């Protein structure tokens, strides 16, 4: 067996283990609440040692970051493949549509039900989103507009996208419906609200002061 094949098998086994631990942990969190479930219980339910659990996750909170990581990977891949002359907010909308379509809605609803009732977990999740998907979006918008990711325009547009997505997921969780469609329609509201500004590539075209464009 070649070294590359051995490595592929290791990666596949690791992915299966991570998936199993995620499923077991989420079921326990749903049944008993996040705070009352221990790593020992997750490991026992998954029929592994606590030491093995910690090989894959630094803490039980990190199990809930997997959804964010997967979504961010889909978004990043989708953004990378968007046409270079496409309006950036439209590209973001298409990327989030792809992420929503790639996700199991039942799992997403279960995940949200666990996260939303535990404030420390919610804060950790928000932090994970900011470190992952927000950074990807901000850097993409900045690149398309010819700005730095630290500039005001990409920062504010990213914050606007984040707010729209939060509202879309809240509506879906409370009222049901087609999540990809709700996400798409919600981001379309933002895209249209930007008007001609959504179609350009430089901050000055937004009618903003030049200092906001790094000048």
- Measure the CA–CA gap between 153 and 141, rounded to whole angstroms: 9
pLDDT of residue 204: 46
pLDDT of res. 4 = 80
Angle among Cα 32, 37, 43 to the nearest 5 degrees reads 125
- The 3-class secondary structure across 115-180, one letter per residue, is HCCCHHHHHHHHHHHHHHHHHHHHHHHHHHHCCCCCCHHHHHHHHHHHHHHHHHHHHHHHHCCCHH
Taking only the tens of pLDDT, the chain with its 215 residues reads: 566 877 888 888 999 999 999 999 999 999 999 999 999 999 999 999 999 999 999 999 999 999 999 999 999 999 999 999 899 999 999 999 999 999 998 999 999 989 988 888 888 888 888 788 899 999 999 999 999 999 999 999 999 999 999 899 888 988 888 989 999 999 999 988 886 554 444 444 444 443 333 43
Give the Cα separation of 55 and 69 in Å (integer).
18
pLDDT of residue 195: 67
This prediction's pTM: 0.80
The pLDDT assigned to 1 comes to 58
Structural domains present in the chain: 3-57 (1.10.10.60), 64-213 (1.10.357.10)
In the block, residue with structure tokens 């590209």: 91
**What pLDDT was estimated at residue 2?**
67
What is the per-residue pLDDT for 3?
66
**Cα–Cα–Cα angle for 139, 142, 146, nearest 5°?**
140
- pLDDT of 22: 96
Residue appearing with tokens 């199993």: 20
pLDDT of the residue at 209:
41
The answer to whether residues 79 and 95 touch, using CB atoms and an 8 Å cutoff, is yes
pLDDT on residue 210: 37
| Residues 24/45, Cβ–Cβ less than 8 Å | yes
Task: Report pLDDT for 55.
Answer: 95
Phi-psi group of 33: left, alpha or beta (phi > 0 → left; psi -120 to 50 → alpha; rest → beta): left
Q: What integer pLDDT is reported at residue 215 of this predicted model?
A: 37
Minimal CA–CA distance to 25: which of 116, 118, 139, 114?
A: 114
């Amino acid at each position: 067996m070649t070294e590359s094949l051995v490595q592929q098998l290791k990666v596949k086994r690791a992915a299966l283990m991570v998936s199993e631990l995620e499923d077991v942990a989420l079921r326990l969190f749903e049944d008993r609440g996040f705070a009352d479930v221990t790593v020992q219980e997750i490991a026992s339910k998954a029929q592994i040692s606590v030491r093995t659990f910690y090989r894959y996750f630094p803490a039980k909170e990190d199990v809930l970051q997997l959804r964010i990581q997967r979504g961010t990977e889909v978004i990043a891949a989708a953004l990378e493949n968007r046409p270079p002359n496409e309006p950036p907010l439209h590209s973001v909308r298409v990327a989030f549509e792809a992420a929503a379509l790639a996700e199991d809605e039942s799992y997403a609803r279960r995940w949200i039900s666990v996260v939303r009732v535990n404030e420390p977990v919610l804060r950790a999740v928000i932090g994970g989103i900011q470190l992952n998907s927000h950074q990807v979006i901000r850097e993409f918008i900045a690149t398309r507009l010819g700005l730095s990711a630290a500039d005001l325009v990409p920062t504010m547009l990213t914050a606007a996208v984040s707010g729209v997505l939060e509202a879309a997921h809240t509506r879906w969780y409370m009222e049901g419906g087609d999540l990809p469609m709700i996400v798409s329609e919600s981001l379309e509201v933002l895209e249209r609200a930007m008007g001609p500004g959504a179609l350009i590539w430089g901050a000055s075209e937004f009618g903003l002061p030049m200092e906001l464009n790094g000048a």
